[in-house]
Amino acid sequence: MANLLTILRMILAVIAIEFIFSGNPALVISSIFLTLFVIVLDGLDGVVARALNEQSKLGSVFDILGDRVVENIYWIAFAIVGWVAPWVPMVVVTRGILTDGIRSIALSKGYTAFGESTMMKNKFCHFLTASRFSRAVYGIAKTLVFLMLIIAYIPNLEYFDAMSIEAFSKYSFIQHYLITTADILVYITVGMCIIRGIPVLIEGKRYLNDDKEQV
């Protein structure tokens, strides 16, 4: 069931992005609620896995895979429509490739990214990357930035071109602050993405050693 929820949120994320690309105001607004639902499912699949005792190494890897797919398609889509700079998805995707590469090596030696058999042995590194607090804060940051970016750029749609000059001026004034807030959240979220990735690379050194060495 948990894996099915992961698949569902990946599908819904793609649909939300298609809504954004459509340029249709109603669909773009709908993408806000769809995106929020995708984020809710992100937290729900873990709860379901624990409740149904479906926790496994495969499930852990699949959950991370789902996170990576959802996160990357949103950042790439935002870059395509010009809501974020191209360097943003470049950094996020590169970070994901590096950390997931290290995690795959650790997995081959019996260690997972999170949970009881986590590869993160250093307490501080574990807190930054694998703790529920860290994962929750990062999840909230992604939720806020994704929603804020969509909300901030809604006024650019054709529907709002039909507004009166006075009404549009007021909305544009609000939009300025929305975009500024969204930009700040982008830097914060990407910064967190990098900071949470560094401990994985640090801990990963031990898993890059010869298989005979104890880890």
Other CB atoms closer than 10 Å to residue 69's CB: what's the count?
18
Specify the long-range contacts of residues 89-94, CB closer than 8 Å, at least 24 apart.
91/190, 91/193, 91/194, 92/190, 92/193
* Highest mean predicted confidence (pLDDT) among 10-19, 61-70, 125-134: 10-19
pLDDT value of residue 168: 47
pLDDT value of residue 115: 67
Cite the DSSP H helix spans in 57-122: 57-80, 87-108
Check pLDDT > 90 for residue 147.
yes
Segment 89-96 mean pLDDT: 95
Buried b (16+ CB within 10 A) or exposed e, 171-200: eeeebeebbebbbebbeebbebbeebbebb
Segment 74-92 mean pLDDT: 95
Other CB atoms closer than 10 Å to residue 134's CB: what's the count?
17
Cite the DSSP H helix spans in the chain: 2-22, 25-51, 57-80, 87-108, 123-129, 132-153, 165-204
DSSP state of 207: G
Segment 128-155 mean pLDDT: 87
Which residues face 112 on adjacent strands? 118
Segment 18-30 mean pLDDT: 87
- CATH of 2-208 among 3.20.20.80, 1.10.540.10, 2.40.50.140, 1.20.120.1760: 1.20.120.1760
Give the pLDDT confidence of 68-81 residue by residue, as tens digits: 899 999 999 999 99
Nearest-Å Rg of the Cα atoms of the chain is 19
CA distances from 42 to 4, 75, 117, 159, 214 (A): 12, 17, 21, 32, 34
Structure tokens at 197: 């990735």
Average pLDDT of the chain, as a whole number: 81
Check pLDDT > 70 for residue 54.
no
Other CB atoms closer than 10 Å to residue 50's CB: what's the count?
11
Check pLDDT > 60 for residue 37.
yes
pLDDT value of residue 12: 92
Q: For residues 141 and 189, is the Cβ–Cβ distance under 8 A?
A: yes
Confidence class of residue 85 from pLDDT cuts 50, 70 and 90?
Answer: very high
Segment 51-77 mean pLDDT: 79
Give the pLDDT confidence of 96-134 residue by residue, as tens digits: 999 888 888 887 777 777 767 778 888 888 888 888 888
Give the pLDDT confidence of 156-195 residue by residue, as tens digits: 555 455 444 454 455 566 777 888 999 999 999 999 999 9
